[in-house]
Amino acid sequence: MFLSRGRVFLGSFLRLNMAQSIVDSMRTASTGTLLVTDHLNYWGGKRVKPRQERNAEPVFEPATGRVLCQMIPCGAEEVDEAIKSAHSAYLKWSKLSGMERARVMLEAARIIRERRDNIAKLEVINNGKSISEALVDIDVAWQSIEYYAGLAGGLAGQHVQLPGGAFAYTRREPLGVCVGIGAWNYPFQIATWKSAPALACGNAMVFKPSPMTPVTAVILAEIYKEAGVPDGLFNVVQGGAETGSLLCHHPMVAKVTFTGSVPTGKKVMEMSAKGVKQVTLELGGKSPLIIFKDCDFENAVKGALMANFLTQGQVCCNGTRVFVQREIMPQFVEEVVKRTKAIPIGDPLLESTRMGALISKPQLEKVLGYVSQAKKEGAKVLCGGEPYVPSDPKLKGGYFMTPCILDNCRDDMTCVKEEIFGPVMSILPFDTEEEVIRRANNTTFGLASGVFTRDISRAHRVAENLEAGTCFINNYNISPVEVPFGGYKMSGFGRENGQVTLEYFSQLKTVIVEMGDVESVF
C-alpha cells in the first residue's frame, strides 16, 4: 500500500513544482507587487480552470487597494464535480488505518513548517494582517495537523460485556464528505482547523474560502496532495453565498462546518437541516474582559491590547467590552491609550509593523461608522478611530485606520452591544463582582471571556459564571490546538481543536454479538 503511495508522491512532487511557484516566489515578494493568475479551484488532485468567467469578482490587496486576483465562483456542475471527487477519495482514505493516515498528515505538517515564511507572506498580501501575526497563524496550522495526526491512530470504540457470553462493541467511523466554509480573518489557519480533524477521522473535505481571501486554501490543497493523500481528498471551490448554498444542499455532503457571522450561520444551519446534515457553527462574539483592581496591572494592559487589536480587531473572540474596576480605571485608561497610540501601523510585510490593513474598503467604512455612531450616543474617543494614510506612496490606497479607545461607554450603546469587527475597544467601569458578571452575560453572544485578578478563588468563580465557551484567566487570545474552541448562545455550537472535535467528525456504530441461542417470544 505505501509503496504505491510512494510512487504517487514522487509523481505529485514533480508535477507540483510549477503549481507551487507562487509560494516559492514569496521569498522576494513585497507589498503591491503580486498578481495571482493561477486557477483558484482545486479538485481531483489539480487546479481546475473555471467553466465560465462572467461572474468574476475582483479580490483586493488590503494594504494597497489594488486588484490581487479575480475570484470566479463555482456553479452547480463544478460543486458537484468537487463533491464527487471528494467522495471517491473518501472511499480510499477511510479504509486506511489511523496510523496510515497519520503518516501522510505528518508529512503535510512538515511541508507547511518548511514553507511557513512564504505561506505567511502570501497570507499577509491577501489578508492585510502583519507578518508577525501571520507567521504564528501558519505555525498554528501545522501544529493542528500534527496534533490530529497524533490522535488518528488512537480512534477507538468500546467493548461491552452482555449476559450469557454475548457482547457488544462500538466503532468510531467517518461521516463521509464534509464541507468547510471559512472566514477571511484566518484563511489558511481555519482551513487546517477544519480539515485536520476531518481527515484524521477518515473523511474527505470540500472547502470554500471567503471570497475575499481565496488564495491560500489552494496552497493547502497542493500540500496535502504532495504529502500523499488520494486525489480529491481536500478540494477547494471558490464562491460566495450561492456556492455555499449549493454545498449545503448537496445530497452527498454529510456535514457542514462554518466560521462566520451569525446571520450567515443561521442560513447554513437552515439549509443543512433540509438534508439532516451535521453542523458545526463558529460564529460572532462580543466578549467581555473583566479587569479587577487586584490584577497584575502590566499583564492586564497587555491582555486588553491583545484582546482587541490582533488582526486589526477582526477576531470573533476579541474581548471588546473591557470592564475595569472603578478604583484603577483612570490609571488603566491612561496606560492603554498611551500604548495604543504607539502601535506601529503600515506595511504588513515589515517586521516592525504591528497593525496592518482592514480586509476591505466596505469593512473599513463600517468600522469607522461604528465609531461615529458611538460619538453620537455619548462615547468619548480617547484616541484613534480615524482613517490612516501611511507615508509609503504604495500604501495610500490601503484600508488602514488608527486603533480606537472609547470611554464613557454604557451597556446600551451600539458600540457595546454589536460586534464591530475592527480595532475598537470600549471601556466600561464596574464596582462589584456580582454586578460585572451580570453585565458581562447580558448579551446574545457567548464565544469568549476573560478575567484578570490575583485572587485564585475569584478567577475560577468568575470563569464558572461567565456564559461563554472559553474563559481566559490572566491572559487573552491564545488558542492552543490542544484545547476546544467554540461558543455558547448565538456564538454557535460544536467545537474546533482538542480531542472532543473528533466526535464532531465521526459517528458511532454499535455492533451486538450473540454467542448463544436466540430467545424468542414467538
For the stretch 344-353, pLDDT in tens is 999 999 999 9
Give me the pLDDT at residue 10, please: 28
Hey, what amino acid is at 421? F
Q: 10 Å Cβ neighbour count for 503?
A: 14
The answer to whether residue 3 scores a pLDDT higher than 80 is no
Burial class of 27 by CB neighbour count within 10 A (0 to 12, 13 to 18, 19+): exposed
Looking at residue 52, its pLDDT comes to: 87
* Band (25; pLDDT cuts 50, 70, 90): confident
- The alpha carbon of residue 93 and the mean position of all alpha carbons in its chain are separated, in whole angstroms, by 25
- Report which of 211, 275, 284 is spatially closest to residue 242, judged by C-alpha positions: 211
pLDDT at 431 over 60: yes
pTM of the model: 0.94
Q: How confident is the model at residue 410 (pLDDT cuts 50, 70, 90)?
A: very high
Q: Tell whether the model's pLDDT for residue 1 goes beyond 50.
A: no
Q: What pLDDT sits at residue 24? A: 87
Q: φ, ψ for residue 382 (rounded to 5)?
A: -85, -30
Nearest residue to 348 (alpha-carbon basis) of 30, 2, 11, 27:
30
Amino acid identity for residue 374 in this structure: A
- What would the grid cell of residue 9 be? 508522491
- How do residues 57-87 score in pLDDT, each as one tens digit? 999 999 999 999 999 999 999 999 999 999 9
Helix (H, G, I), strand (E, B) or coil at 403: coil
Across 62-88, b (16+ Cβ under 10 Å) vs e yields: bbbbbebbbbbbbbeebbebbbbbbbb
Catalytic residue positions, numbered:
282
CB 505 within 8 A of CB 196: no
pLDDT of residue 509: 98
Q: Rounded distance, CA 381 to CA 379, Å?
A: 7
pLDDT at 215: 97
Closest C-alpha among 16, 47, 77, 496 to residue 236: 47
DSSP state string for 28-91: G--TT-----S--EEETTEEE--S--TT-EEEE-TTT--EEEEE----HHHHHHHHHHHHHHHH
pLDDT attached to residue 20? 56
Residues 6+ positions from 91 with CB-CB distance below 8 Å: none
DSSP state of 173: E
Half-sphere exposure of 178 (CA within 13 A, CB side): 29
Q: Can you tell me which residue has the cell 484524521? A: 200
Name the residue among 458, 449, 520, 517 with its Cα closest to residue 489. Answer: 449
Q: Can you give the pLDDT at residue 256? A: 98
Q: How far apart are CA 372 and CA 401, in angstroms?
A: 13
**176-230 pLDDT, tens per residue?**
999 999 999 999 999 999 999 999 999 999 999 999 999 999 999 999 999 999 9
- Give me the residue spans of the domains in the chain: 25-283+497-506, 288-486
CB 50 within 8 A of CB 39: yes
All three cell numbers of 45, joined, read 488532485
Contacts of 504 (CB under 8 A, 6+ apart): 197, 255, 257, 278, 280, 494, 495
For residue 88, what are the contacts with CB-CB under 8 A and spacing of at least 6?
230, 232
Nearby residues of 498 by Cβ (< 8 Å), 6 or more positions away: 481, 482, 483, 484, 485
- Residues in CB range of 427: below 8 A, 6 or more apart: 322, 324, 329, 332, 333, 336, 405, 406, 407, 409
CATH superfamily of 25-283+497-506: Aldehyde Dehydrogenase; Chain A, domain 1 (3.40.605.10)
Q: 409-424 burial by CB neighbour count: b if 16+ within 10 A, else e?
A: beeebebbbebbbbbb
Biggest alpha carbon–alpha carbon distance for the chain = 89
Is CATH 3.40.309.10 what the domain over 288-486 is classified as, yes or no?
Answer: yes
Q: What percent of the chain has pLDDT above 90?
A: 93
